[in-house]
Copies of this chain bind each other. A is one copy, B any other.
Amino acid sequence: MSRPSSSRASLRIREVAEVAGVSPATVSRALNGTAVVRQATREKVLAVVDELGYRPNRVAGNLRRQQVQMIGVVVSDIENPHFTQMVRAVEDAAYLKGYRVLLCNTDEAPAKQREYLGVLIAERVAGAVISPTEPGAPEIGELIDHGAAVVAFDRAVADRRADAVLAANADAGRLATQHLVATGHKRVGFVSGLLGIETAAGRQAGYEEAMAAAGLPPMVALGDFRVEGGRRAAADLLARGASGLIVANNLMAVGALKSVKDAGLRVPADVSVVAIDDPPWAELTDPPLTTLAQPVREMAVAAAELLVGRLEGRRSRPKRQVFSFELRHRGSCCRPPGAAHARVRRSKNEL
């Protein structure tokens, strides 16, 4: 049982050494197990450490060892369930390996990304998982120059030295489109994400390709990967007569569902909806949402493993892993309202 003195806060390794009757070097060795220490000496030291409540100052250790057991996680917004899951999985893996997680939200703002990357460089973190807003930011290369292991998540980075864990975004757009087309839809609208973001562009490209292959004209409305933009874009597409909606991410799906309701329409009777991303609430909506799910957890684990692999010194050429989406059939798609169905129907009541 430790019974720390009240002044433990200012304790340095020297005090511990004096009390234990050894040198600071021996205390360090006993504590870190970095060299052989006589059993009795070690026990004495540890007893004194415990008794005094000594807590080695890691900041000093980090400087001396030229090593910081910390990794940065850079995402647009941890409140996006996609990134929440990712961050959690990375934290788990990091924790097991003795690394800490520094959380950085960029809000898709290049300036904020740059600033946070600057912080990661300055703090000399051992590595970073980055879902870049600006994939070509020079700070990413700088971070790598400084010896950090970098894994791009969701979106590639320009620097070729980084590992990457990506999802097959074009496939997602294509699969969603093919699903709606096969169900009988001809007027399939796409609620797109922020222009210039790789995941958004890929998903849209897959959609356009599949529409072209089906001989159908594309209908795209620009969203912003957020709830409100999704609502507006979906409203636009509904006004243009879309009977099926593909929504490029989970936040915009919330907006799109609202928009359908606002228009007095019903899912799926009047409008079929497929969302890309599979948030935890997809099963809870009315009706449950058909989605294209990416294996976020697996992807995060892969990212963490790539990172830890490099942190532990395994060298190899940069790796790029691409994960597949999976269509999860739930209740938000059916045949479009045709001859047998009224085009627009009022929702029964709002409750």
- Residues of A at the B interface (CB closer than 8 Å) are 4, 6, 8-9, 53, 55-60, 62-63, 68, 70, 73, 77-79, 84-85, 87-88, 91-92, 95, 100-103, 105, 118-119, 121-124, 142, 145-147, 254, 257, 279-281, 284-288, 331, 351
Contacts and interface: CB of A to CB of B under 8 A. Distances in A.
Nearest to A62: B59
A63 B55 contact: no
Given A78-B84, A95-B105, 16 more contacts: A9-B145, A53-B142, A55-B146, A58-B119, A60-B63, A70-B102, A73-B103, A77-B88, A78-B78, A78-B87, A79-B88, A92-B105, A100-B102, A100-B123, A284-B286, A285-B286
Given A63-B63, A102-B101, A122 B57 contact: yes
A107 B62 CA distance: 28
A103 B101 contact: yes
A286 to B, nearest CB: 3
Given A9-B147, A146-B9, A103 B122 contact: no
A196 to B, nearest CB: 23
Q: How many copies does the complex hold?
A: 2
B123 A59 contact: yes
11 contacts: A9-B147, A53-B142, A57-B124, A58-B119, A63-B63, A73-B103, A78-B87, A91-B103, A102-B102, A284-B284, A286-B286
A57 to B, nearest CB: 6
Given A88-B77, A88-B105, A59 B63 contact: yes
**Which of A68, A85, A142 has most B Cβ within 10 Å?**
A142
A4 B142 contact: yes
A142 B92 CA distance: 25
Contact of A281 (B70, B142, B284): B284
Contacts of A287: 286, 351
B55 A121 contact: yes
Contacts of A59: 59, 62-63, 68, 123-124
Given A9-B145, A68-B59, A105-B88, A100 B119 contact: yes
Nearest to A286: B286
Contacts of A78: 78, 84, 87-88, 91
A95 B285 CA distance: 35
**Which of A147, A257, A285 has most B Cβ within 10 Å?**
A285
A334 to B, nearest CB: 9
Contacts of A145: 6, 8-9
B284 A254 contact: yes
A333 to B, nearest CB: 10
B62 A91 contact: no
